[in-house]
A and B are shown apart, each in its own frame.
Chain A
Amino acid sequence: MNYAMALDYQNCINCKACEVACKEENGVQLGADKQRIWVGVVEGTIFGKPFANLYPSQCNHCIDAPCVSVCPTNASHFAEGGIVKVDPHKCILCKGCMEACPYDARFVDDTMVAVDKCTFCDHRSLEAGGTTACQATCPTKVRLFGDLDDENSDLVKLLKTKRFFFQKEYTNTLPKLFYILPDDEAYAKQSVSHDTIIHTWEDIKPLYEEAKNRRSKEWKK
């Protein structure tokens, strides 16, 4: 089991249903800066013409997660399938993980007095036929949660047919949010920077399998 998510981000319409569904499902603290998941908006102009690119995002559940390495009390840990979680009873609010996270995916939940983050909805998504709240609610089917080890899962089937990239790949944390590159070349160029490395499943699979074998001893069952 190696859980991951693919995001067909060109379908995102910025309705933020995922943000609300996540808060309802997981009882996340209210407040605009208390987000387990979010829609990243990049706005600007090219020669006077405005554009907006939307990158729905959340915790990347990196295989080499810096937030887990930095935690002094083992509150941040790998749960089943490589899902990065926080044990609120062990958290001492040193906030080292919030500094270490390249994606700024963590925040302080004042009601739990602990750092909180996305759990891939592991209370419901790991059951047969289950999925995350953000995937279930998305009206344009942006997200796809699945298992990278299962060659027959919808996720791997999709990754085999598409090209994809990662956010902030230069941090070398092996993130597990796969951003699916749009088939349309013109749109793909508009939404990806020149430095972004485009991957296919064949070239990324050995890297992720090796990393999983190296780190999965730490994963709790």
Chain B
Amino acid sequence: MVARKVDPMPAWRDEDYVKVPEGKFKFVTGRHAQFTQSSTVNNIMLLELMHENYLWINDKEAEKLGIEFGDTIEVTSRVGQVRIKAYPTPKIVPQTVFYIHGFGAKSEGMTFAHRNGASDNEIIEDTIEPVHGCANMHDTLVTLRRV
């Protein structure tokens, strides 16, 4: 690993950290306790608990941008674009936006889950972590636009 210039033990490298420029946001994703992978996407009992996902954005930043709860937001990254409703909240730090993974199914066969909210896979850039080979899910920079 050293020969390939990869740290055998995890070490912090400042140059690898994706800094967020002014006017852009870092997109992070995550899961709820209710949904497990794709097998539960179309489950009506679970969709009753939460039937679409919302874009979390820091409430003070949202106020500056004039974004209110329920506004449709266009989220654009280098690789894709989605539309999703906004949820301003103090629970998230500034310069970061978040929505839950596992929504916005493209397939029309997903009769209950078809296009309920937005899918994170459509905007996450395809970069790979060199040690364990997973995708870097939280390194995508996005811009927001109120529609």
The answer to whether A209 has its CB under 8 Å from any CB of chain B is no
B49 to chain A, nearest CB (A): 5
The answer to whether A126 has its CB under 8 Å from any CB of chain B is no
Q: B43-54 vs A: 1/0 string, CB under 8 Å?
A: 011101101000
Residues of B contacting A13 in the complex (Cβ-Cβ under 8 angstroms): 33
* A50 with B91: CB separation less than 8 A: yes
A48 to B, closest residue via Cβ: B90
Listed stretches A16-24, A158-166, A167-175, A180-188; interface member: A16-24
The answer to whether B39 has its CB under 8 Å from any CB of chain A is no
Residues of A contacting B37 in the complex (Cβ-Cβ under 8 angstroms): none
* B44 with A30: CB separation less than 8 A: yes
Interface size class of B (residues with CB under 8 A): 10 to 19
The answer to whether A129 has its CB under 8 Å from any CB of chain B is no
* A31 with B91: CB separation less than 8 A: no
Interface size class of A (residues with CB under 8 A): 10 to 19
Partner among B33, B51, B89, B90 whose Cβ is within 8 Å of the Cβ of A16: B33
Q: A5-26 vs B: 1/0 string, CB under 8 Å?
A: 0000000011111011001100
Residues of A contacting B89 in the complex (Cβ-Cβ under 8 angstroms): 50
The answer to whether A193 has its CB under 8 Å from any CB of chain B is no
Q: A63-99 vs B: 1/0 string, CB under 8 Å?
A: 0000000000000000000000000000000000000
> Given A14-B33, A15-B33, A15-B34: A20 and B90 within 8 A (CB)?
no
> Given A48-B90, A50-B90, A50-B91: A23 and B45 within 8 A (CB)?
yes
Distance between Cα atoms of A31 and B46 in the complex (Å):
11
* B46 with A20: CB separation less than 8 A: yes
Query: Could you tell me which residues of chain B, from 25 to 50, have a CB within 8 Å of some CB in chain A?
Result: 33-34, 44-46, 48-49
Residues of A contacting B91 in the complex (Cβ-Cβ under 8 angstroms): 43, 50, 52
* B48 with A30: CB separation less than 8 A: yes
Residues of B contacting A16 in the complex (Cβ-Cβ under 8 angstroms): 33-34, 49
Distance between Cα atoms of A89 and B33 in the complex (Å):
38
A56 to chain B, nearest CB (A): 13
Residues of A contacting B49 in the complex (Cβ-Cβ under 8 angstroms): 16, 19-20, 32
> Given A14-B33, A15-B34, A16-B34: A24 and B90 within 8 A (CB)?
no
Known: A14-B33, A19-B49. 19 other contacts (CB 8 A): A13-B33, A15-B33, A15-B34, A16-B49, A17-B33, A20-B45, A20-B46, A20-B49, A24-B45, A30-B44, A30-B45, A30-B48, A31-B48, A32-B48, A32-B49, A32-B51, A50-B89, A50-B90, A52-B91
Top 3 closest pairs, chain A to chain B, by CB: A15-B33, A50-B90, A50-B91
